[in-house]
Structure 1
Amino acid sequence: MFPNEPQRLHVLFFPLMAAGHMIPTLDMAKIFATHHVKTTIVTTPLNAPTFTKPLRSYKNVGPPIDIEIIPFYSKEVGLPEGVENYERCTSDEMTTRFLKGTEMLQESLEKVIEKCKPNCLVADKLLPFATDVAAKFNIPRLVFHGTSYIAQCVMHALGKYEPYKQVSSDEEEFDVPHFPHEIKLKKSQLPTFLRGLGEKHINDEWMKIFGRAMEAEERSYGIIMNSFYELEPDYADYYRKKMGRKAWHIGPVSLCNHEKEAKFQRGKDSSIDEHECLKWLDSKKPKSVVYVSFGSLAKVSTLQLQQIAMGLEASEQDFIWVVMSKNNVDGENEKNEWLSHEFEKRMEGKGLVIRGWAPQVLILDHEAIGAFVTHCGWNSILEGISCGVPMVTWPVFAEQFMNEKLVTEILKTGVGVGVNQWNIMVEGNVKWEDIKEAIRKVMVGEEALEMRNRAMKLKELATTAVEVGGSSYNILQSLLHELRSYNA
């Protein structure tokens, strides 16, 4: 028991089973624990190592973080045994079945709540039944949004005003109406289900899923955002004032990992040895290396991988390039075929190709990193910002085109490669010349220096936000105070 704390709060975290949702959830649990809150994470058997492995070496000042494991019913929804994670889904059909499988977790979640008796449930946006479960046990449900304020605001404006219906072609730009900044988008940059493309039953399923999520969110106690006020103040205000949402931004959550070991162990087992990785980076000059990664979900065609290789070589910059086996759509057995041995030989010492999971925060935080070629997933954007790294933006799908606008047009800490097509498959439309030009723009010359200075200022703001007295620290304190009052 701690001073002035009549009863220790107990918060239950329930993330969607996908790396981009589970990793920030573990970080959130660590942050809550440092505020002396008891935390428990609910997950399924095959996803448990994402939490248990990093926690083995976690040195926590507060109470320990518990893991509760519940079964996932793959077979019952027509998925192969062992598919318990969004990343294991290889088609839209499998994804919708996976999300149906998550709906079957309601009863198991109720049993965990009966057993653990938490004071609050923090559950992923895409687990809408959590609102009803929390209501049943008379505890508040907080929705975890793994994305930016700006993306949420854009989606709200698109739903309300439907400006994309006023344009005559996919390539014609439209303005997002009544917005703090002038934001132009193309219809081709919006999710396919919004444009009515793809199979009708899949679109209908997605519309139902999002409809349920939005409705459950409106009935929830409020929203936790992995962001910080100084990063997108206009959109934090828009979200709370214009959209009327109760929200607490407590990020960047990745900054809770201070030791090298903690940064290395975030996520899955790394495909590269920590010391080998750091030794390679230590041999490079400050701000001289480009880091390239498309996250855990994007699929990249062989043709595009070849164009990236040519672009990196032509840019004349040192690089670390992460190629997940899932990124290479031609299959595990052929994962080396696209990259010529001559390229690897020529790039020896200049380029490091990591095949599989990479310790992204550890790499980005190294002084040798000068730029980040990113798919604009929100975790990656925030990690890049927290490390003061300018970006080459290459959005693929989800809300990534909206995140790109924040980086390139509002923060002005990056340049785009010129992608306009929303598609989980990176087809090969971006030519090596454009890749080279974008990389050189953020690495070489006056404009690059200005971007780097702006990026370093954002790093300072991010660091201050999570420290005692910072905006994220204070808003979390205020949330915990509310939760204690709710349960008093």
Structure 2
Amino acid sequence: MDKITDQIHVYFLPMMAPGHMIPLVDMARQFARHGVKATIITTPLNASKFSKTIQRDRELGSDISIRTTEFPCKEVGLPEGCENLASTTSSEMTLKFVKALYLFQQPLQQFLEEDHPDCIIAGSFFPWTVDVAAKLGIPRLSFSGSGLLPLCAHYSLMEHKPQLKVESETEEFIIPGLPDTIKMSRQQISDHLKDEKETPMTEIVNDILRAEKISYGAIVNSFYELESNYVKHYREVVGRKAWHVGPVSLCNKDNEDKAQRGQESSFSEQQCLDWLNTKEPKSVIYICFGSMSIFSSAQLLEIAIALEASDQQFIWVVKQSTTNEEQDKWMPEGFEENLNGRGLIIKGWAPQVLILDHEAIGGFVTHCGWNSLLEGVAAGVPMVTWPLSAEQFFNEKLLVEILKIGVPVGAQAWSQRTDSRVPINRENIQRAVTKLMVGQEADEMRRRAAALGKSAKMAVEKGGSSDNSLVSLLEELRWGMSSSN
């Protein structure tokens, strides 16, 4: 490609939350490997989480850089250093955080005027970017961090409102017009969908929906073979342009990249690998509930007892907001000592992609966050599904009912708050783990998951469905550049 004359310059503005930043940074790196000049806009504290990776890509010849601007903590009444959604601890803080995202308009506009990029890819929580892009006459692509099935399901619920026609929270309804029969209950969807009542988020959600409608299109971390019916449905029924360019986690080829994805782990990657290397293929189950989920001590105790009773080998990532004194309350007497090398407990952040890609991993207990779902799919492992909030109940339907590589643990109710969740009991956890790891049904799920893992890897290779989708987007942007010059 002639760098000087037709190099495209794309701005990436990720929402400051691990589940949004990690894939959008990977996406920027992918664009840069296709000859694009990529600029990631974030705050200094967030930049420090991935600056080493970007530096390494630059040394390898990628035209990729980071521009930072301060996070307006004080202006919205957040404590100093609260620059990532993962640092918020209450719904009040979350709301302040989302409002702070609106204050990036001024600094971003300044950057845009200095750099004149050809396109901006922005997290959906920056709806105002659609107006800024229109003023500059450049396309704005939206990135929501989820797949196409959840986007289509959300669109249908907003359009047809079947959730308002049921008598109770637990009565099931069918989401109309989707390629598959998907049944949900009101208790499995987020508050803003439940009724017509205004919530603190209503205005923001409406703003996001307005921006999606007039955006140039959506860019999605997914691949055609995973949800082909929903790629078509989104384009033809929802009527919007979409490019699927995932799984973007597969741009991390070596162990160093995989280990540094996200943030520093509390456990060295070498320790993880050394432990996994002593295990038989497909014999270990990995348990992790994403970067935002904190479980109550009562729930952690149920998981611990279920794991002890299941006789399976495991790696369990435990995130807790409690102090060390409280920690012992949930851990059964002598739990860690009795494991005898059968289990590994990681407190804090874990190098998830590195672990999932190891041949010893035979299953994954997940909260069904879209990134975790895709990382599990790319690694070719079946999953125990334990949705908590966001779009995770939609994602569970994809894994369990459509792809048939998931076993539900029995979570019934959507909730962002730890204290309002009814714990899943040890019997249900043990039953799901055993069903995933042992027996003929487990073998069949593993076969399906392995085939899907192969498709995921092929999708991002040269000539694969996601690679072709990215190339066609770049051609469209380049055509737009030449016709506006």
TM score, norm. by length of structure 1: 0.96
Distance 2:45 2:380 in 1: 34
| Residue 253 (structure 1) shift | 0.4
The yes-or-no answer on 1:442 pairing with 2:469 is: no
Which shifted more, 83-92 or 449-458?
Answer: 83-92
Q: Output the amino acid matched with 1:366.
A: H
Q: Output the amino acid matched with 1:16.
A: M
The yes-or-no answer on 1:251 pairing with 2:207 is: no
Q: Output the amino acid matched with 2:237.
A: K
Secondary structure at 1:102 match in 2: helix
Q: Output the amino acid matched with 2:273.
A: L
Distance 1:60 1:377 in 2: 32
Distance 2:341 2:440 in 1: 27
Secondary structure at 1:319 match in 2: strand
Contact 2:22–2:262 (CA<8 Å) still a contact in 1? yes
The yes-or-no answer on 1:368 pairing with 2:360 is: yes
| Residue 340 (structure 1) shift | 3.5
Contact 2:385–2:407 (CA<8 Å) still a contact in 1? yes
Distance 2:113 2:381 in 1: 45
Distance 1:176 1:196 in 2: 16
Distance 2:475 2:327 in 1: 51
Which shifted more, 339-348 or 164-173?
Answer: 339-348
| Residue 205 (structure 1) shift | 2.4
Q: How do residues 87-486 of structure 1 correspond to structure 2 at under 5 angstroms?
A: 87-196=86-195, 204-324=199-319, 328-331=320-323, 334-340=326-332, 342-426=334-418, 427-486=421-480
Change (3 A) 1:228 1:376: same
Secondary structure at 1:204 match in 2: coil
For each residue in 1:421-451, what CA deviation from the matched residue of structure 2 results, as whole angstroms up to 9, or x when unmatched? 1012353521111111101111000000000
For each residue in 1:468-487, what CA deviation from the matched residue of structure 2 results, as whole angstroms up to 9, or x when unmatched? 11110001100000101111
| Residue 299 (structure 1) shift | 2.0
Q: Output the amino acid matched with 2:476.
A: E
Aligned length: 480
Contact 1:365–1:387 (CA<8 Å) still a contact in 2? yes
For each residue in 1:290-326, what CA deviation from the matched residue of structure 2 results, as whole angstroms up to 9, or x when unmatched? 00001011120100000000111111100000012xx
Distance 1:398 1:55 in 2: 29
Distance 2:160 2:258 in 1: 42
Distance 2:45 2:224 in 1: 35
| Residue 226 (structure 1) shift | 0.3
Contact 1:141–1:220 (CA<8 Å) still a contact in 2? yes
Q: Percent identity?
A: 50
Ranges in structure 2 where 5+ consecutive residues have no aligned partner: none
Q: Output the amino acid matched with 1:469.
A: G
Distance 2:285 2:223 in 1: 26
| Residue 53 (structure 1) shift | 2.7
Contact 1:293–1:375 (CA<8 Å) still a contact in 2? yes
| Partner residue in 2 for 1:26 | 25
Secondary structure at 1:299 match in 2: coil
TM score, norm. by length of structure 2: 0.96
Distance 1:54 1:346 in 2: 39
Secondary structure at 2:475 match in 1: helix
Which shifted more, 121-130 or 77-86?
Answer: 77-86
| Residue 145 (structure 1) shift | 2.2
